[in-house]
Amino acid sequence: MKKIHLTAAAALLLVLGLSLTSASAEEKAGKLSAMDIFNLEVAGDPQISPDGKKIVYARAFSDVMTDRRCSNLWIVNFDGSDNRPLTIGNFSDGSPRWSPDGTRIAYVSDRDGAPQIYCRWMDSDQVAKLTNLQTPPSGIAWSPDGKSIAFTGLVPGSAPQIGQIPAAPPGAKWSEPATVTDKLVYRFNGAGYLKPGYYHIFTIPSEGGTPRQISTGNFQHGGAGIRASDVSWTPDGRFLLCSTNRNPDYEYEPLESEVYEFSVENGSVRALTHRKGPDGSPVASPDGRYIAYLGFDDAYQGYQVTHLYVMNRDGSGSKAVSSSLDRDIASPQWAADGSGLYFLYDDQGNTKLAFISLDGSVKQISGNIGAATSAYGGGAFSVAKNGAIAVTYSKPNIPGDIASIAPGGQVKVLTAVNQDLFAGKQLGEVEEIWYQSSIDHRKIQGWIIKPPAFDPSKKYPLILEIHGGPFADYGDRFDIEKQLMAARGYVVLYTNPRGSTSYGAEFGNLIHHKYPGDDFYDLNSGVDAVIAKGYIDTDNLFVTGGSGGGVLTCWVIGHTTRFRAAVTVYPVINWYSFNLTSDIAAFTTKYWFPGFPWDNVEHYEKRSLLSVVKNVKTPTMVLVGEEDYRTPISESEQYYTALKLLKVESVLVRVPGEPHGISRKPSHHAAKVSYIINWFDQHRSRP
């Protein structure tokens, strides 16, 4: 894969305003530097061939000269031999899917400028472009006979018209006209302002041709902001299954989805589920007798455990087969013999692959499933007809590689995509920690990353890094940002305070209508627990976090002055304004709050970060992307202005073109973590 040259690294460091001297010192000492964000690669989306002999996967990388994130398709034998690229170039090739007979691979690529569906014949390596769509396709799925490919895409519509407006005379150059919308969700994080129209289900002949629209109506069957599942076929090839929300008020009840079947012949549609709550990820059993799907009975709670259900093909006899497992189920896939399903779940910060029989008995197959550059959960897998499995594999020192699991066998890691990057570099050691919260003595799990060449007899500055969500989990996974903090000499603590997932329904709902709140004690007690180990310089404590972690960063410094400096990253500050400007307002007003702001003013005010800002004395950086529509930039601007009015030392950093997360561009990601560390460096107390 393309790797960065030193001269390019030096040039980009100067553009970013980062310290070339500091980065060079880190590299000479065998430590990671911010420029290594360009060098990092991740292997994901492993798709095993139907016969279990080969695995195709997407290998993500960054191009330093264009500041672009890219990915190519690679293929490796099940035993790890012959690992090689299928596609090359600085493009985005992804979503590989084997044909049922294993002779072809369909995938999505933007190598002609816009994402389209391509097909590769494996015997001849010939490639055909199958579509010429105006908008990107998603969720490609082969029909059982291999003659068709299903996908979802946007059917453009017209914006509402409000009377007549003057037209430009011939030859005149007028500015862009105004846009009109009548939708509740009119913009979405990452996608920007949405084009008018509806996402629908299509099929296309597998050798190419004209797409045929299957679904109809003014409903969204995919797209940004819509919780629709990818389509899947029934074994007879006559129907497509999709979970979507086809209710007239779908924008106002965002979780009210059902499992639908769509006739491939005539497009007729029928709901197979009829309950209050989400029903998603439907997959038919190999013999066509059953349909498995995910969901829960909606109680408008902040956190609700997602269970696995199995029903008869006609929608009758639904049963929650995973009711004994108090964890969220994800990515169900049937075994070839129909005896049960494989699935993923997070448990105490570790993503696991398991198998569940139809009687509800669960057998764990593997842990450490994941592929990312942060400590959040995730991962992917696929299963061949013979029971062979391909998975993504991650550990604190492995961002994401491909592994195979033979039927009844052990995990074998097949790739080492970052071996060249990590050669000669020492990562920070990760240690698990459990401690008690001072508020109720509840056990809290966390992890400590120590600087390379850590010496327990020395004193180190500490960074408390808080996860977002808030209903999410950190775990024993690789995290580039935290490793970069450790490489600069900091001990880093990250924990799963109350409200985190992977600990069950009761723990997750401790913050229902109480966030932020007692999670402060969970976090503060974690700092005390690390200090008790004896190697922390208590005069140099720092705190940061993004999104929900940004919320808690502001909550923490509003309750204690023990931290020398803070960086709050794309936080929510004013719950009232957040619920009227965020792209998920219909969700948050129902699930995170008891109702609308104007009906619950006191409740919103009590949880506002402005309610404690007058207590803040900590020097604070506010860091946000200018195209963040999840926690809009106006939230960060409110907090920054409040700090300045209170004469608290503070700076506002706005990153152009970035949505929530600030990682769309590799250079912006490098700048983000560098700004955080440099802010702390500036405020460290040194002998």
How would residue 377 be classed by pLDDT, with cut points 50, 70 and 90? confident
CA distance 291 to 308: 11
The pLDDT tens digits for 273-294 are: 999 999 999 999 999 999 999 9
> What pLDDT score does 26 carry?
67
> What pLDDT score does 23 carry?
47
For 412, other C-beta atoms within 10 Å of its C-beta total: 14
For 188, other C-beta atoms within 10 Å of its C-beta total: 18
Q: Are 70 and 405 in contact (CB under 8 A)?
A: no
Could you tell me the CA-to-CA distances from 239 to 31, 95, 391, 562 in Å, in that order?
A: 54, 22, 29, 61
The pLDDT tens digits for 114-145 are: 999 999 999 999 999 999 998 899 999 999 99
CA distance 683 to 567: 12
The pLDDT tens digits for 474-511 are: 999 999 999 999 999 999 999 999 999 999 999 999 99
Q: Which segments of 277-421 are extended strands (E)? A: 279-284, 290-295, 307-312, 319-320, 330-334, 340-347, 350-357, 362-366, 381-383, 389-395, 398-405, 411-413
Q: Which residues, 6 or more positions from 24, have their beta carbon under 8 angstroms from its beta carbon?
A: none
Q: Which domains does the chain have, with CATH numbers?
A: 426-573+608-682 (3.40.50.1820)
Amino acid, single-letter form, for residue 588: T
How would residue 224 be classed by pLDDT, with cut points 50, 70 and 90? confident
Angle in degrees, CA 285, 286, 289, rounded to 5: 50
CA distance 13 to 678: 14
Residue 378 predicted with pLDDT over 70: yes
Q: What percent of the chain has pLDDT over 90?
A: 90
